[in-house]
Chains A and B, each alone.
Chain A
């Protein structure tokens, strides 16, 4: 049998009514996806914290559901849904994708995996390949993140396969922030630890229900203090770190602690 004959066997002769039905299904699915992408983020902004993150994470799930349902409705209108026909169609599509759109198909599949494996969700703060930002949307092919400098970065889902993904809050409301302080070694450690602890405790940005920790590291050039605490709103993490740093420096100065700078590393030629 010729190729044309196989194709003719697989596909229906599509009537005008079926074309209209397919157009309506596509339009309906597209409208649903459009509304979900537009209204759920709008609605999410009217809620706070947990509800907001939940609503945002619904967007890609609803989009995937709409596409799958639309495909299930369209395919029987185009081909006879027998096992042989479906296998032939899938084989042809798979071949085409495998050669021509390998990376694109890989991203699409990785996009589906993200919905179930959830390495990142909308609202998460992630770092991939040195780019840090908030996941604003998870599209079919790529995730869109916005960096603290308000730059949009599109990261193809296929990075999921071979890149390390650092997720700072992992779908939760808590995100650890760290402020660093470098002091000359001659000081009262307990007094400095208490002062830094109180700096975090009195920050208006602090999520007081989460623990505060002061970590002390002994370095060749002095003492490195790491003040770790959680902000009340993870979107305010940089303002929180700024607040900790500014007030921390003032508090340490007031108790007579002296700051030091990390000396530049000398290169040996």
Chain B
């Protein structure tokens, strides 16, 4: 916990699971919202943005952080804390011998690998992890993959239920069968992990009983600040300053009390609103926004993992200078269909994507490459996904065009 948290008001826990209805999407500052509205109107008639005031540090004076330094300041997410938070939220349910609701659904915000939380959680409790059926099994309507599960009363975790259906005329029977069995208690006690987009769709295709759904609470400005501070300075030695490069405002609270009077930036508030509380997306923006001066980089000591840090300043690119991914000009029906399908399944392999879209394969591939060039989709070697950086633009694009979107 950072030093500057006020003792009177207890800060919310960093990782907190809440019922889905309690998910609070962070709001952007009003001034920014108004400015964005005006800039939209202006963009209809203008092509060039007006020049901003001279910055404190220009882009030429700064450099991207070296990868080792970036990994030191923003390391990979440790899911154990989230897993503990899930245990806390499910405490009552776990203590009940025969709960009224045999299954709990844990919704994940999209474009981040939160599935690992459930896998970690299952490993900690020694619960069985259920693997999804293959695409061929789904399309054939085979329910045999569940037979092992039915013989065994041990509790289970199904971390990726979105992989058990396909948006195909023949791809819904398996998931309906599974949800009917699971919700009626025939499969014993279980926890289902599901992507929020897939769940929005599944609630339309399955009319079973209302299930308990929980999710990680949104990462608002306070949580992001605490989280980034903890990542960058786990020992709480307060040796790094995070300042915005244009005006020098502090993005994270300054380490010295003398600096505490300095103005603070609204960068994190904008970041929280932009990512809609999705910390995976926030991280994807945060990492490339960090800069340092060429002679002010951390050095990697030979033979040690701990870099030398002494009162360094990390410069954060101002929000308006960040390059956000956007839809290619003239994006239309093909882009909408491909992006929506990818989000509904939390990514799909190329062959499966073909089966779910009523488009010629060449057109799908061309669309995927076009979106990839714009930084909106990425191929990880087996699966095409919407990128965390592109997700906010994609969600907004699909919502504006009337597509089904997730709750978050």
Which residues in A have some Cβ–Cβ distance to B below 8 Å? 43, 46, 48-49, 173, 195, 198-199, 201-204, 207-209, 232-233, 236, 243, 246-248, 250-251, 254
A162 to chain B, nearest CB (A): 37
Judge whether B170 and A251 touch: CB under 8 Å: yes
A48 to B340, CA, bound (A): 17
Judge whether B337 and A204 touch: CB under 8 Å: yes
At the interface with chain A, which of B67-75, B77-85, B278-286, B397-405? B397-405
Judge whether B169 and A247 touch: CB under 8 Å: yes
CB-CB nearest in chain B for A200: B169
B400 to chain A, nearest CB (A): 5
Interface string of B167-183 (1 = CB under 8 A from A): 11111100000000000
* Chain B residues within an 8 Å CB radius of A173: 402
CB-CB nearest in chain B for A252: B169
Q: Is the interface of A mostly helix, strand, loop or mixed?
A: helix
With A208-B204, A232-B402, A233-B401 known to touch, is A199 a contact of B337 (CB < 8 Å)? no
Q: Check: B358 CB closer than 8 A to any chain A CB.
A: yes
Judge whether A233 and B169 touch: CB under 8 Å: no
* Chain B residues within an 8 Å CB radius of A208: 201, 204, 404
Judge whether A48 and B171 touch: CB under 8 Å: no
Within 8 A of A (CB), among B161-206: 167-172, 201, 204-205
A208 to B204, CA, bound (A): 8
CB-CB nearest in chain A for B401: A48
User: What are the 6 tightest A-B residue pairs by CB atom distance, in nearest-first order?
Assistant: A251-B169, A204-B337, A199-B169, A202-B167, A243-B358, A208-B404
A233 to B402, CA, bound (A): 8
**Which residue among A201, A203, A236 has the maximum number of chain B CB atoms within 10 Å of its CB?**
A201
CB-CB nearest in chain B for A246: B358
* Chain B residues within an 8 Å CB radius of A202: 167-169, 171-172, 356
With A201-B204, A202-B171, A204-B341 known to touch, is A49 a contact of B401 (CB < 8 Å)? yes
Beyond A202-B168, A208-B201, A251-B169, 11 extra complex contacts between A and B, CB < 8 Å: A49-B400, A198-B169, A198-B172, A201-B204, A201-B205, A202-B172, A204-B357, A232-B401, A233-B401, A236-B333, A251-B170
A183 to chain B, nearest CB (A): 16
Q: Check: B235 CB closer than 8 A to any chain A CB.
A: no
A209 to B340, CA, bound (A): 15
Which residues in B have some Cβ–Cβ distance to A below 8 Å? 44, 167-172, 201, 204-205, 333, 337, 340-341, 356-358, 400-404
* Chain B residues within an 8 Å CB radius of A43: 44
| Cβ 8 A contact of B169, one of A46, A48, A195, A232 | A195
A142 to B204, CA, bound (A): 43
Judge whether A204 and B340 touch: CB under 8 Å: yes
* Chain A residues within an 8 Å CB radius of B401: 48-49, 232-233
Judge whether A209 and B358 touch: CB under 8 Å: no
A48 to B336, CA, bound (A): 13
* Chain A residues within an 8 Å CB radius of B358: 203-204, 243, 246-247
* Chain A residues within an 8 Å CB radius of B201: 208
* Chain A residues within an 8 Å CB radius of B337: 204
A167 to chain B, nearest CB (A): 20
B175 to chain A, nearest CB (A): 11
A251 to B167, CA, bound (A): 13
A183 to B167, CA, bound (A): 25
* Chain A residues within an 8 Å CB radius of B356: 202
**Which residue among B168, B171, B402 has the maximum number of chain A CB atoms within 10 Å of its CB?**
B402
* Chain A residues within an 8 Å CB radius of B357: 204
* Chain B residues within an 8 Å CB radius of A49: 400-402
With A204-B358, A247-B358 known to touch, is A254 a contact of B402 (CB < 8 Å)? no
* Chain B residues within an 8 Å CB radius of A204: 167, 337, 340-341, 357-358
CB-CB nearest in chain A for B400: A48
* Chain A residues within an 8 Å CB radius of B341: 204
A208 to B201, CA, bound (A): 9
A114 to chain B, nearest CB (A): 27
A199 to B356, CA, bound (A): 11
CB-CB nearest in chain A for B168: A202
CB-CB nearest in chain B for A47: B400
Judge whether B400 and A209 touch: CB under 8 Å: no
A86 to chain B, nearest CB (A): 43
CB-CB nearest in chain B for A207: B402
| Cβ 8 A contact of B404, one of A209, A243, A251, A254 | A209
**Which residue among A49, A199, A204, A246 has the maximum number of chain B CB atoms within 10 Å of its CB?**
A204
CB-CB nearest in chain B for A203: B358
A91 to chain B, nearest CB (A): 48
A167 to B400, CA, bound (A): 25
CB-CB nearest in chain B for A231: B402
With A173-B402, A232-B401, A236-B333 known to touch, is A201 a contact of B172 (CB < 8 Å)? yes
